[in-house]
């Protein structure tokens, strides 16, 4: 399934954890326009494609009703994609294979810290759109030998352990964003060891996202600017998995009238609400101009 050439391939990757709002619509519209632009300029080639990826791995928050609503709302808004839809919960063996590769190459370690442990240990306040810096608690070299976790030889199904990626402390990572230009971050300072596999036996967003973007041959990732920090983590994962990283284009985030970033709790700005109020997609898009 790997994209054999550099023919543009983009993706829309909503999570069915709530109703899609205006912010999603604007980002996805940009993604579609960029795929279409590639389509019209790639003379003689198959042209750009756009896939829809259903990011439904968070079983506690994702719901089938939101998947139905998501597809209905995307279609209503005028978004079009190439079938078939990719559903992450159906791709667990692929993620597990990548987990084993990362383990064999020595990139991950087991961790017993809870999210709260990490939050409490964080020395600096973290941006609300990102996770706190991992303090290194369970890195094997930081534990007294007696209390080192005795992990199984390799991550095993149901081992009840979190597995984290060990970032190369001090390395500066860079990429040129299609919208925001040059971006840099220092591993271990701007972001720390991040989750690869969760103790409830589910892959992390970072792992699943990279495995899918590589497997589907995605050439450009278009998504919200809240994920810029994650892009650095994902660049490390592409490298560790020996896959070519796509280009990245992050879209500015929409805010409400109080300057607060739109989230799924902003029901008033859900596409569904706007539609029920009689707004048309054209009117909504005209508001962005």
Residue among 117 and 256 whose Cβ is closer to ligand GLU: 256
Applying CB under 6 A, which residues contact ligand GLU?
13-15, 55, 209, 223, 227
Residues β-bridged to residue 210: none
Looking at the Cβ atoms of 138 and 208, the one nearer to ligand GLU is 208
Residue 87 Cβ vs ligand GLU, minimum distance, rounded to whole Å: 12
Cβ of residue 112: shortest distance to ligand GLU, in angstroms?
A: 27
SS3 54: strand
Q: Residue 162 or 231: which CB sits closer to ligand GLU?
A: 231
| C-beta of 193 vs 220, nearer to ligand GLU | 220
Per DSSP, what are the bridge partners of residue 175?
Answer: 183
Query: Closest CB to ligand GLU among 167 and 210?
Result: 210
User: What are the φ and ψ backbone dihedral angles of 10, each rounded to 5 degrees?
Assistant: -115, 180
Shortest CB 254 distance to ligand GLU, Å? 14
Cα dihedral 108, 53, 231, 23, rounded to 10, equals -140
Cα gap 105→214, rounded to integer Å: 18
- Does the CA dihedral 124-125-128-132 come out positive or negative? positive
CB of 261 to ligand GLU, least distance (A): 12
Contact 231, 175 (CB under 8 A): yes
Least distance to ligand GLU, CB of residue 5, Å? 23
Take residue 118 and report the two structure tokens written for it.
């990490």
């Amino acid at each position: 399934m790997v994209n054999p050439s550099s023919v543009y391939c983009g993706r829309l990757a909503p999570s069915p954890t709530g109703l899609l709002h205006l912010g999603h619509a604007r980002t996805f519209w940009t993604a579609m326009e960029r795929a279409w632009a590639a389509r019209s300029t790639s003379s003689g080639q198959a042209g750009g494609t756009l896939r829809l990826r259903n990011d439904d791995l968070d079983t506690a928050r994702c719901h089938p009703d939101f998947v139905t609503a998501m597809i209905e709302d995307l279609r209503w808004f005028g978004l079009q994609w190439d079938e078939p839809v990719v559903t992450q919960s159906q791709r667990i063996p692929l993620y597990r294979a990548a987990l084993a590769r990362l383990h064999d190459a020595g990139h991950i370690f087991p961790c017993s810290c809870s999210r709260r442990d990490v939050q409490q240990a964080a020395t600096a306040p973290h941006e609300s759109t990102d996770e706190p810096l991992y303090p290194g608690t369970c890195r094997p070299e930081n534990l007294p030998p007696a209390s080192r976790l005795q992990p199984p030889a390799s991550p095993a199904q149901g081992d009840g352990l979190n597995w984290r990626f060990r970032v190369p402390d001090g390395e500066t990572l860079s990429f040129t964003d299609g919208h925001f230009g040059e971006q840099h971050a220092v591993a271990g300072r701007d972001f720390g060891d991040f989750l690869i596999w969760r103790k409830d036996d589910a892959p992390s967003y970072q792992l699943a996202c990279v495995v899918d973007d590589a497997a589907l041959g995605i050439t450009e990732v278009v998504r919200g600017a809240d994920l810029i920090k994650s892009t650095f983590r994902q660049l490390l994962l592409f490298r560790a998995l020996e896959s070519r990283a796509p280009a990245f284009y992050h879209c500015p985030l929409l805010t409400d009238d109080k300057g607060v970033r739109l989230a799924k709790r902003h029901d008033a700005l859900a596409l569904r609400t706007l539609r029920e109020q009689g707004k048309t997609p054209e009117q909504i898009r005209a508001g962005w101009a």
